Structure 1
Amino acid sequence: MLNMADSLAALRSVAESPTVEILSAAFSRAGHELALVGGPVRDALLGRPVNDLDFTTSASPEEIIRIVKPHSSALWDVGREFGTIAARVLDETVEITTYRADSYDADSRKPEVVFGDTLEGDLRRRDFTVNAMALRLPGQVLVDPANGVDHLLARVLRTPSTPEQSFSDDPLRMLRAARFAAQLNFRVDEEVSAAMARMADRLTIISAERIRDELNKLLLSDIPRVGISLLVDSGLAERFLPELPALTLTQDDHKRHKDVYEHSLTVLDQAIALEYERSTDEVFVPNLVVRLAALLHDIGKPPTRRFEPGNVVTFHHHDVVGAKMVKKRLRELRYDNDTIKAVARLVELHLRFFGYTDAKWSDSAVRRYVRDAGPYLEELHILVRADVTTRNVRKADRLAFAYDDLENRIEELSKEEEMNAVRPDLNGEQIMAILDLRPGPIVGQAYAFLMELRLDHGPQSEEAATAALLEWYRDPA
């Protein structure tokens, strides 16, 4: 339960910070209104850290530049056509936007930008009431035309206008509802969630890049399960990530207490907990690759589901199939190549460990596990551990002990061999000199042979590697 006295004190503290006071005085001297708006007001009232300072003003973009320039070390447009100017004031980055009164075409992805003339009018066009509050400066008057404080106290997301009008104006707000529900742990008003379900098709006019950015923000929140569930239940996920709701139709291979969709959400929850537990950074930074992989690691199950004799359900090779599906979907959402490669690799490898519990691996098998994980080994550790969601305590303990053993062996071998940089004992130039070859396919085959030799037997002396290479070259079979 919020203590409003403490919340207002926190908001006053933000308003009295040096950066805010400098800007407040500058706009007042220039005869323009200025207000702290949206996220910083909401977060201060919630007792959350205020990381961004957003302002709205009666000044035009050109007037903003003129007023702010003498007080800033840097000034740049982040969207002058939308009325927004960013600046570096003292040690903080701020964004200042002219009052807006936008209108939207039903088939357009972008608003027709119209500048407004009142703070109240600007607030009424915002996405949710808890983001439609402002602190008018310098008098520190809270302006709340849509009862955002009441909704903040109730921890509920509502829209300043009707949900239909708000989502018709900007369909991306439906994804923001899911994101804010996850970030703030708020429930979504029933009228809002009903409108999301009715208007899900409106999402088709939004660019893949904007959808991706909202999905990322949701996944990087503390409890993404809340937002993911809302996206699936409303039908929105079907429009941009259909592989996820498809998991609700697939029973898991042991026909136990949860379907694959619920299992995936649990894996996501457990991966986040492990991120915190294993983090060595002073400031925790959530890992998008881990969270995407945890959410999507089983998307290969629906297309690989087979019913075997004895009413047994199998999902053979769903790891490989899932990795290909991940690549396709993330490309369509315009993810960068590094993220796509990392997530797909983790999905492809997430089952590899489970053979370790059947028979303890040789050193060469451990080396291959590390080699195949490459730079994603720590992420793979988290994903594999998180993938254990059984209620059978004895089985869960057995798997945890087995993975502890595997990590210990990796650490021991790494110390002995610098295994994180495993390479053949001879490089390409040495191979060509020994075999008197020019660059070509045989050199690559020889390199692969020496890599396998290293993985199977550990480091070799140059003489031993040369002898093995010559023997292979004489009889490569």
Structure 2
Amino acid sequence: MTKQTYISALENPIFRTVSEASKHLNLESYVIGGYVRDFILKRGEAKDIDIVAIGSGIDLAQEVSKLLPGKPKVSVFKTYGTAMLKTGGIELEFVGARKESYSEESRNPAVENGTLEDDQNRRDFTINALALSLSNENFGALLDPFNGIEDLRNKIIRTPLDPDITYSDDPLRMLRAIRFASQLDFVIEKQSLDAISRNANRIKIISKERVVDEINKILLSETPSKGFSLLHKTGLLPFILPELVALQGIDEKEGQTHKDNFWHTLEVVDNISKTTDDLWLRWAALLHDIGKAPTKKFDEKLGWTFHAHEFVGAKMVYKLFKRLKMPLNDKMKFVQKMVLMSSRPIALASEVTDSAVRRLIFDAGDYVEDLMTLCEADITTKNPKKFKKYHKNFQLVRNKLVEVEERDHIRNFQPPVTGEEIMETFNLKPSREIGIIKDAIKEAILEGEIPNEYEAAREFMLKKGKAIGLVPLTPEGGTEKK
């Protein structure tokens, strides 16, 4: 690419403002890292921009703020020698050029001032060490000491320096390498890939939150299996998601085998990624079979079985989220529900009855479409006839879901008769009889014995109450004669 092309990367007026501020302070500044990389890859305009100053990044940020309309607030992080400001929908982070040295126990380096070359040396990958000058004399000139442009063209992830040192110093870079390979569809250069395997156990010093952040980005890539295959190949996965590793392998007994549930899971994740960008639904796909490892048994009559693996898997979801310090809120509960119900529509597909569909809608609530999306992604058969048949059956289920919901209004079901009305009708105080009647009404509606309507439900309530020995009040306030 020509110098002029790189100048076109700096058309946003903010870059001229940074250039002017740099001149005021008599220091050099550069745009570096992801912004430059993504411009060259034509990945769209980045909203996060890293500026490196040969001097104080904090002073440069404050000078830039003075030159901008409204003088946006500068957030200063003195510990790290960085500053950040937001303007025009863009977030700029400023840092002084530095060199780093690491101890074995921590990924937080000892930092000292350095040159641009020192700063580029400390970058994780050659493709992230690309810098564009903001100086007036050579505005837009590319500084590429490690031939990162060539690596971009060849789609290669490579470290600027010795990969063993790079990954041992900051083990998070191993996950970043795999994440970039997955996001960009790049290949990790062999020396670098081997170094990840050698240093895999170093990932243990990285906080769970940082690890999960990278896993989320891998999950949100176009083909997540690429990233998870690399995590598996390099030996990182057992330190992060041992529940997935436990699914790998095919056992044989008396000539009977089962599918490899690890590679099946990755197929399911890729399938669902074609239809949804929902991170938590992708997590559900990743974890939908984790209960199969602890429930796997061989039965002489049935062959390999995984009884109650959905129930076991749902309980494992909570433990996994807690271990990885992931949110234990509605996101976790959603993943649990998806795992717990992941086989329900499959069972329905062979015989689509109204009552079974009502129960599915009742149990899944607002997530019934997500559940169907997950189950359709779970079809990984390579037999074209079976593939077509299974999808056709699921379409029948989807059609039935619409038909039953339009007629019976089961989603987010509320009993047509309330507990208060039951208490008033039979002159009851809070008691187990109220629950018995409410459950009976719910079951009658779900089984199709009565419609989901008030009058039918009230009549059923009176019958059920009498059946368990309750006497309804008369309109005058007395009780009916037996």
* TM-score, normalised by the number of residues in structure 1: 0.89
Shift of 1:92: 2.0
Give the corresponding residue for 1:466.
Answer: 458
Deviations 1:95-151 (A, max 9, x none): 222223232221124333x24232221111011111111111141121112221121
- Using the aligned pairs only, state the percent identity: 38
Deviations 1:419-459 (A, max 9, x none): 43322112343333334344465544443333323322364
Distance 2:40 2:468 in 1: 71
The structure with more helix, counted as a fraction of residues: 1
Give the corresponding residue for 1:354.
Answer: 346
Over 3 Å counting, the alpha-carbon distance change for 1:218 and 1:462 in structure 2 is same
Q: 1:121 aligns with which of 109, 114, 118?
A: 118
Shift of 1:474: 4.1
Shift of 1:166: 0.8
Q: Say whether residues 1:203 and 2:189 are aligned partners.
A: no
Q: Is the 8 A contact 1:72 1:87 kept in 2?
A: no
Shift of 1:213: 0.7
Q: 2:334 aligns with which of 314, 330, 342?
A: 342
Shift of 1:389: 0.8
Q: Say whether residues 1:83 and 2:63 are aligned partners.
A: no
Q: Say whether residues 1:106 and 2:104 are aligned partners.
A: yes
| RMSD of aligned residue pairs (Cα, Å) | 2.5
Q: Is the 8 A contact 2:409 2:452 kept in 1?
A: no
- Map residues 71-470 of structure 1 onto 2, 5 A cutoff: 71=68, 74-77=72-75, 79-112=77-110, 114-138=111-135, 139-251=139-251, 259-275=260-276, 286-309=277-300, 312-336=303-327, 337-361=329-353, 363-439=354-430, 442-457=433-448, 459-470=451-462
Shift of 1:22: 2.4
Over 3 Å counting, the alpha-carbon distance change for 1:198 and 1:440 in structure 2 is farther
Count of residues paired in the alignment: 460
Shift of 1:411: 1.7
- Map residues 58-73 of structure 1 onto 2, 5 A cutoff: 58-70=54-66, 71=68
Distance 1:83 1:313 in 2: 59
Distance 1:443 1:107 in 2: 61
Distance 1:415 1:29 in 2: 68
Bigger shift: residues 221-230 or 8-17: 8-17
Q: Is the 8 A contact 1:109 1:205 kept in 2?
A: yes
Q: Is the 8 A contact 2:25 2:60 kept in 1?
A: no
Shift of 1:312: 2.2
Any idea what SS the aligned residue of 1:463 has?
Answer: helix
Shift of 1:54: 2.0
Bigger shift: residues 83-92 or 295-304: 83-92
Deviating 4+ runs (over 6 angstroms)? 252-257
**Aligned residue identity for 2:264:** H
Over 3 Å counting, the alpha-carbon distance change for 1:78 and 1:330 in structure 2 is farther
Shift of 1:250: 4.1
Distance 1:76 1:37 in 2: 20
Deviations 1:241-271 (A, max 9, x none): 0111222124599967952111111111111
Q: Which has the larger radius of gyration?
A: 2
**Aligned residue identity for 1:101:** K
Unaligned runs of 5+ in 2: 470-482
Over 3 Å counting, the alpha-carbon distance change for 1:36 and 1:72 in structure 2 is farther
Over 3 Å counting, the alpha-carbon distance change for 1:194 and 1:442 in structure 2 is farther
Distance 2:459 2:252 in 1: 51
Over 3 Å counting, the alpha-carbon distance change for 1:53 and 1:471 in structure 2 is same
Over 3 Å counting, the alpha-carbon distance change for 1:84 and 1:415 in structure 2 is farther
Shift of 1:200: 1.2
Distance 2:124 2:303 in 1: 48
Distance 2:99 2:331 in 1: 38
Q: 1:32 aligns with which of 24, 27, 31?
A: 27
Q: Say whether residues 1:20 and 2:15 are aligned partners.
A: yes
Deviations 1:23-42 (A, max 9, x none): 22222333232211111111
Deviations 1:196-238 (A, max 9, x none): 1111111111111111111001111112111110101111010
Distance 1:196 1:332 in 2: 23
Shift of 1:18: 2.0
Give the corresponding residue for 1:46.
Answer: 41
Shift of 1:471: 3.2
Q: Is the 8 A contact 2:124 2:160 kept in 1?
A: yes
Q: Is the 8 A contact 2:273 2:282 kept in 1?
A: yes
Distance 2:42 2:467 in 1: 72
Any idea what SS the aligned residue of 1:248 has?
Answer: coil
Q: Is the 8 A contact 1:197 1:236 kept in 2?
A: yes
Q: Is the 8 A contact 1:252 1:259 kept in 2?
A: no
Over 3 Å counting, the alpha-carbon distance change for 1:100 and 1:469 in structure 2 is farther
Q: Is the 8 A contact 1:266 1:389 kept in 2?
A: yes
Give the corresponding residue for 2:477.
Answer: none
Distance 1:476 1:238 in 2: 56
Distance 1:428 1:100 in 2: 68
Any idea what SS the aligned residue of 1:82 has?
Answer: coil
Unaligned runs of 5+ in 1: 276-285
Distance 2:301 2:456 in 1: 53
Deviations 1:318-374 (A, max 9, x none): 11111111221122111112221111111111111122233222x221121122222
Any idea what SS the aligned residue of 1:54 has?
Answer: strand
Over 3 Å counting, the alpha-carbon distance change for 1:46 and 1:432 in structure 2 is same
**Aligned residue identity for 2:394:** Y
